[in-house]
């Protein structure tokens, strides 16, 4: 799977000025710089066409596009990510966890999208910090998991990216402001860059580590909670 990460430029900026640099990929991932703030009211009223722009670009490039954004649902703000495949909007994934005091509230559940590039699971922002996020998407048979993050501050995002890929046997990619990274199923970082547009190729491979542990007393299967 050929993937292009856009870490700084907006979707329209790339569309009108740097189209040749992102062409020829199966999947293009924009961080939250891609769309900025999207108002559902304005989208429904026809005042803006942000989501349509994502769909149109995916059709023109004949690929799948994931684009981070903040959404305003009549005063409720969420961190979100929209995904389009070859001209069709497949859905919008919201961050499922709200952390501490924030104007951004928790949104919908996790989802794996069946696209022309493969089965893609999406993790939005700080959902990456919760191990069950990658676990649920891996159990739903994701070929790859993409984390759309705001801004890297410290080592935690990369640690969780590597741990999620290793523990669940699914490659994971991260796109944030001025940074992107890829972790393989062995937990190794195979690509990391601070460039604006980064091209990489990921071999889809899945591995399920056989783990045994000593059980004593009352035991509940780990997967029973999902």
Supply the DSSP symbol for 106.
P
Burial class (CB in 10 A: 0-12, 13-18, 19+), 25: buried
* Structure confidence at residue 213 (pLDDT): 53
The Cβ-side half-sphere exposure at 180, using a 13 Å CA radius, reads 24
In whole angstroms, give the CA distance from residue 30 to residue 66.
6
* Structure confidence at residue 220 (pLDDT): 55
pLDDT at 74 > cutoff 90: no
Handedness of CA 128, 131, 133, 135 (dihedral sign): positive
For the chain, the domains span 2-225
pLDDT at 226 > cutoff 50: no
In whole angstroms, give the CA distance from residue 130 to residue 72.
24
User: Can you give the pTM of this predicted structure?
Assistant: 0.88
In whole angstroms, give the CA distance from residue 200 to residue 176.
16
How big is the CA angle at 163 (ends 159 and 221), to the nearest 5 degrees? Answer: 140
Q: What are phi and psi of 202, to 5 degrees?
A: -115, 130
Confidence of residue 76 (pLDDT cuts 50, 70, 90): confident
Architecture of the domain spanning 2-225: 4-Layer Sandwich (3.60)
pLDDT at 212 > cutoff 80: no
Q: Which of 69-73, 99-103, 104-108 has the highest mean pLDDT?
A: 69-73
Q: Which residue has the higher pLDDT, 168 or 211?
A: 168
């Amino acid at each position: 799977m050929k993937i292009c990460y856009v870490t700084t430029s907006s979707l329209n900026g790339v569309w009108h000025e740097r189209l040749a640099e992102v062409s020829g990929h199966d999947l293009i991932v924009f961080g939250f710089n891609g769309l900025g703030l999207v108002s559902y009211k304005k989208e429904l009223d026809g005042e803006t066409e942000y989501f349509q722009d994502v769909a149109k670009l995916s059709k023109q490039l004949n690929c799948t596009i994931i684009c981070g954004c903040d959404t305003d649902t009549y005063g409720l703000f969420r961190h979100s990510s929209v995904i389009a495949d070859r001209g069709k909007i497949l859905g919008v994934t919201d961050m499922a966890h709200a952390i501490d005091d924030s104007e951004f509230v928790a949104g919908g559940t996790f989802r794996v999208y069946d696209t022309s590039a493969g089965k893609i699971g999406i993790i939005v922002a700080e959902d990456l910090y919760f191990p069950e996020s990658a676990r649920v998407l891996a159990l739903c048979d994701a070929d790859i998991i993409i984390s759309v993050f705001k801004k890297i501050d410290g080592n935690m995002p990369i640690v969780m990216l590597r741990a999620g890929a290793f523990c669940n046997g699914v490659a994971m990619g991260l796109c944030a402001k001025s940074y992107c990274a890829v972790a393989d199923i062995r937990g190794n970082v195979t690509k990391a860059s601070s460039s604006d547009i980064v091209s990489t190729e990921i071999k889809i491979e899945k591995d399920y580590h056989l783990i045994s542990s000593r059980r004593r007393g009352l035991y509940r299967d780990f997967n029973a909670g999902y």
